[in-house]
Structure 1
Amino acid sequence: MDYLFIYGTLLMQENPWGMYLSQQSEMVCQAKLSGFLYDAGEYPGAIYVPESDSYIYGSVMTLQNPDEALRIMDQYEGFGSEESQPNEFIRRKLAVKSDIGPLTCWVYLYNWSTQGLSRINSGDYLKFRFENT
């Protein structure tokens, strides 16, 4: 089973890419990833810090057609050798803590410097967006 942990704009139904993902996958559970979340302007950036007591909150999706879905999501996230280098986001398989236990998921992580970016202390992008609109 291929899982994708989403924590940012893909959670928003008004986002066409999020709508695509909701049609091509199924939400499994809520989850959290150790690390920090930053406001990169129009979207958040997650930095994985395995030993952190801080978390990034999101949802785990099960991908019905993983190769196709990840190819589409890679385009959205600007990940791949054909994209400008270094990629702003990289895709890694990481363990997340979920409502149903630990799961290994694909996660898009922010790959650029966070210098000058504001940290989203709650680790919850949707809550941050709601409070800042």
Structure 2
Amino acid sequence: MKDKQDCFLFVYGTLRYEAKGKMSALLSGSASYLGEAHFQGKLYRIDYYPGVVASDHPEDLVVGDVFQLQSPDVTLPELDDYEGIGPAYEEPYEYERCLLPVTLTNGQTMRCWIYLYRYSVEGLERIADGDFLAHKGI
């Protein structure tokens, strides 16, 4: 695990800073909010939660938030469990945690952990503007 000063997380759905949920509150209490950012990908509504797949097209942007994790060795396993990743879950997992570049609104690019959706997106509703909270009504 990287030093905790270098451990960043990009979230785009139910864990966002403005989301109103138990896990978003847990994240806010165990990490420092750095601001809004975007990831080059496509956002889909899976159910009451979204999923992101990476994209090669620069116009495909997903809106989210970046957090600096204070105790990544504790927080990341909790988030993996929330996302259904790990030995307690049957493979293939719905999400995969990857370290990928995201861009803050000030233009700074940084590598962050992000949960990418692994299943087929065929037939799923695409959220074209990339902002799940704008469509969820939270």
TM category, shorter: over 0.9
Deviation beyond 4 Å, 4+ runs, structure 1: none
Aligned residues of 2:19 and 2:133 also touching (Cα < 8 A): no
Paired amino acid for 2:133: L
Q: Distance in 2 between matches of 1:81 and 1:48?
A: 25
Give RMSD over aligned pairs: 1.4
Please name the residue that 2:20 is paired with: 14
Please name the residue that 1:53 is paired with: 59
1:70-89 → structure 2 map (5 Å cutoff): 70-89=76-95
Structure 1 position 51, deviation (Å) = 3.6
Paired amino acid for 1:124: D
Deviations 1:15-56 (A, max 9, x none): 111110000001102110001000001100000114442100
Structure 1 position 13, deviation (Å) = 4.2
Please name the residue that 1:44 is paired with: 50
Q: Distance in 2 between matches of 1:80 and 1:49?
A: 26
1:1-133 → structure 2 map (5 Å cutoff): 1-11=6-16, 12-100=18-106, 101-130=108-137
Paired amino acid for 1:8: G
TM-score, with length taken from structure 2: 0.89
Percent identical among aligned pairs is 34
Q: Distance in 1 between matches of 2:38 and 2:56?
A: 12
